[in-house]
Amino acid sequence: MTETVYEKLAQILEDVNCVIFDLDNTLLDSHDAWRNVDYEFFKKRNITEPEGYGKSVAYMTFKEAAEYTIELLKLSESVEAVTQEWFDCIQRQYSQELKVFDGVKELLEALKKKGKKIALATASAERLYTAALENNGVLQYFDAFASTEETERGKGFPDVYLLAAERAGALPCECIVFEDIPTGIAAAKQGGMSAAAYFCGANADIREELSRLADFCFGDYAELARRIDHNIKA
């Protein structure tokens, strides 16, 4: 019988010492979080969101996006007031509303039973990732954390994954990274790690590229957890 991707991935997880997870849209279903920020912002002011606004601010810093928005809409508000409003909204979502994908908790439990180190490598701020993991009851499974706020370069480079591995006490060759974006997959492999792509709604249009770059691709945490748990009992 042909070995399934879950069986293959479960076997790889037997051999590694550390599993490094991205947060947003890999563990946490946060695809709509920033869209919700925009929706609330414009609704509060009874303004129709300009066409293409989301794409325009997508890669800006908070400060840059606030300056752009104030100028675009001719607002009399300060940059500080706008950025604080945005952060309060996103903080509320991460601390109270956003949920991890089905099967995430079961997978983390299975990995812990196997004695694996678990680390987080994220672009989110510490206040956000800590709140989200704690609200979902999974913070205690993590041994190490790293954010791109702590590295000179972002997710297009291996820096944040290497920092997570270092903090977990693992060599890059002993790690596998779970990601949802091609740049993250490529960067993890550039850093000498294996990489698994998680298929979610947010990356449905780039799965061909993910399949080309990643060592493994999957879309069901619960099934992977069951496979690992089966191996434990066996």
Give the domain CATH number at 163.
3.40.50.1000
Reported as a single tens digit per residue, the pLDDT across 21-54 is: 999 999 999 999 988 999 999 999 999 999 999 8
- The pLDDT assigned to 185 comes to 97
Clarify whether residues 80 and 126 are in a common domain: no
Reported as a single tens digit per residue, the pLDDT across 171-224 is: 999 999 999 999 999 999 999 999 999 999 989 999 999 999 999 999 999 999
What does the alpha-carbon distance between residue 220 and residue 222 come to, in Å, rounded to a whole number?
Answer: 5
Reported as a single tens digit per residue, the pLDDT across 151-174 is: 998 888 999 999 999 999 999 999
Clarify whether residues 15 and 46 are in a common domain: no
- Residue ranges making up the domain that contains 181: 5-30+100-233
Our measurement of the distance from residue 82's CA atom to the centroid of its chain's CA atoms, rounded to an integer in Å, reads 25
- The pLDDT assigned to 104 comes to 98
Query: Which of 47, 75, 97 is a domain's end point?
Result: 97
pLDDT band at 234 (very low <50, low <70, confident <90, very high): very low
Question: Looking at the 3D structure of the chain, how many domains does it have?
Answer: 2
Pick from 57, 75, 77, 79: which is nearest to 66 by CA? 79
Clarify whether residues 63 and 105 are in a common domain: no
Clarify whether residues 65 and 160 are in a common domain: no
Clarify whether residues 106 and 215 are in a common domain: yes
| pTM summary value | 0.89
pLDDT band at 1 (very low <50, low <70, confident <90, very high): very low
Reported as a single tens digit per residue, the pLDDT across 71-98 is: 999 999 999 999 999 999 999 999 999 9
Clarify whether residues 74 and 171 are in a common domain: no
What does the alpha-carbon distance between residue 65 and residue 227 come to, in Å, rounded to a whole number?
Answer: 44
Query: Which of 97, 125, 151 is a domain's end point?
Result: 97
Strands (E), 166-222: 175-179, 194-198, 216-218
Clarify whether residues 70 and 21 are in a common domain: no
Clarify whether residues 125 and 184 are in a common domain: yes
Query: Which of 97, 112, 146 is a domain's end point?
Result: 97
Clarify whether residues 67 and 115 are in a common domain: no
What does the alpha-carbon distance between residue 82 and residue 125 come to, in Å, rounded to a whole number?
Answer: 18
C-beta of residue 168 within 8 angstroms of C-beta of residue 18: yes
Reported as a single tens digit per residue, the pLDDT across 107-128 is: 999 999 999 999 999 988 899 9
Clarify whether residues 24 and 93 are in a common domain: no
Clarify whether residues 191 and 77 are in a common domain: no
Clarify whether residues 43 and 121 are in a common domain: no
